[in-house]
Structure 1
Amino acid sequence: MNSAARALLAVSAAFFLSSAQAELPDPAGFGRAIELGDIRSARRWLDEGMPPDFEADVTGSGLMIAAAEGNIPLMQLFIERGANINYVSRIGEQAIALAAWKGHQKAVEWLIEQGASLDPPDRTWSALHYAAFAGKPRIVDLLVARGAKIDARAPNLATPLMMAVREGHEGIAKTLVDAGASTTAVSDRGENALAWALRYNRLKMATLVAPPENVAEAVSAPALPAQPAPPPPQASIPAPPEVSELLKKLRQAEAQGKPTEALRRQFMAAVESHRKASAKQTVKAAPSALVISAKRGSKAGGERAELVAGGATPAAQTLAADAGAIDILRALQEAQAKGQPTEELRRRFRAAVDRMRPSGQ
């Protein structure tokens, strides 16, 4: 073989080798393979030159999917091949957050040992956010003990405490408050933990994150904040005398060291009664949209509806869209775990994520 032929053969071999290396897996197929723990395919794709942080169509990188499945050997493979343990996906999630959300304590511990950060970039969903949201008290305890940032801020400025309140996880909320979580921090809608408790009808948790007098004041406020428009602000409806009287008795009992549980129940019942009466008497702004999302694990008919007021800020609309995307993602992964069809849920999730992106992107 002459030198020209050898050169041509070398060029041809290099061309075909580079073509093979440039062949990336289909994102949907990649995601399904990693979810199923197909370590042989993962190793082959990596050997062929797939970037270690290659993302699937929904969940994120291979490391993130493996973390969500609690698959430590698969996580180790991606780390050994150069995956960024703190990689943030296009929807703002990290591997340790997904492991925490799914309750995989050993995976969370392994990631921490490998150097996963418990102090994520500002305005990123943290592992503590997801553990609080999903109701995983043991993982919350672990993260707090390892020094996780108690008041980490999500893209909507929500804190882990707000997530616990939103989902009604009273024990986790108490753990966070006892660990020093701020009860006065506000989201990008200007709402603190108390406002979240009232918005999601978590009245039992309201006095956990705020003094009773603040609860009484909050439920007397307008159901929707006044807009800086010509119409005058809505006037609040004064709390009835029984609420004030019960609050007075509750404070006296606390000062005297007497049991307060019965009084607290009466107080919250009176507050709820007043809140319902206020809702009937207060004229609300016309809604510009009705956001409906299915709550995770609920049966048919268990959808949740939320009115987004006319003139709501883009941040408020993003929050509603974000909550919908989270619910769809949870439903998608539950369907995958049960072997149910997921194409429609995948389509809805991608559409929800697209709605969350600022215009022009």
Structure 2
Amino acid sequence: MDLERIRMEAETEIQNASDIQVLEETRIKYLGKKGIITSALKSIGELPKEERPAAGVKINAVKVVIEESLNHRLKELEEKELEERLKKEYIDITVPGRKPELGHLHPLTIVREEITEIFLGLGFSIAEGPEIEYDYYNFEALNIPRDHPARDIQDTFYINDNIVLRTHTSPVQVRTMERQKPPIRVIVPGRVYRSDNIDATHSPVFHQIEGLVVDRNVTMGDLKGVLSLFAKQLFGEDTKTKFRPHYFPFTEPSAEMDVTCMACKGRGCRVCGGTGWIEILGSGMVHPKVLSMSGIDPQEYSGFAFGMGLDRIAMLKYGIDDLRLFFENDIRFIRQF
């Protein structure tokens, strides 16, 4: 075996190794389990006994030289690889940093949280309920009989004859009265559904916030006081309110509440149709029949309820003229809030 030739060939291959992977292949070729030097060491046993010591010394000497060459070249390749990586990962510390972009709350979320905070400050709590609701809670328990127009299939999404997608959050008021004895002060925010076409002012899914107060000696004056204070908190201290008689099956008497137009401050403009007022919610004293069906004695307790469209409030507050913008998730729109 020409050990000198093997050493020279090994050193040449080691020096020419272009990367660590090629160098590792060279190491295996010469020093691996089936490598040239390893095989030479194993073949010593085939030599005459007197020749074995000298052969072992020569082969081990070549092995040591190859190992040293491998280690030296490995160090060179690692330094070269590190240098190339540092060049690729070079950071110019003089470049201004990029500020992480924070997410934005949706305008409906902003207005919902603002309204919620106002009523929490007035001693209300938040109640929630199912969006898929029984006909009884959505209609019957709210004094809406089976022949009422609101039950028309053109207005309500029916899952079957007894289950609907709730058309308002009022069913949660009934559920609250069934499980909680007065005094009751709750607001009910949530999604509701009606069979409407999608256009600038209508959507089959929208949002409401309703409120309910039940206690002894609750009057219409309490209703007007709470809602007037709410309007001033939401739209500004100079906001005025006006209550107009109306009809709702679950309240008696009933009223709609108007507030000073946010655009013209009551002077009259296109937004308010020249009246200076904008209607924002419906309200009234809880109908005695609704109290009775919920297990509350109307002779002992009275209450008031109100409900507003969150989407409408947000449109008025921010001057938005198209309801569809709330549901398109256009980041250019959301970034404005």
TM class, shorter-chain normalised?
A: under 0.3
- Give the number of the structure whose alpha-carbon radius of gyration is greater: 2
Q: Which has the higher strand share?
A: 2
Q: Which has the higher contact order (CA 8 A, sep 6+)?
A: 2
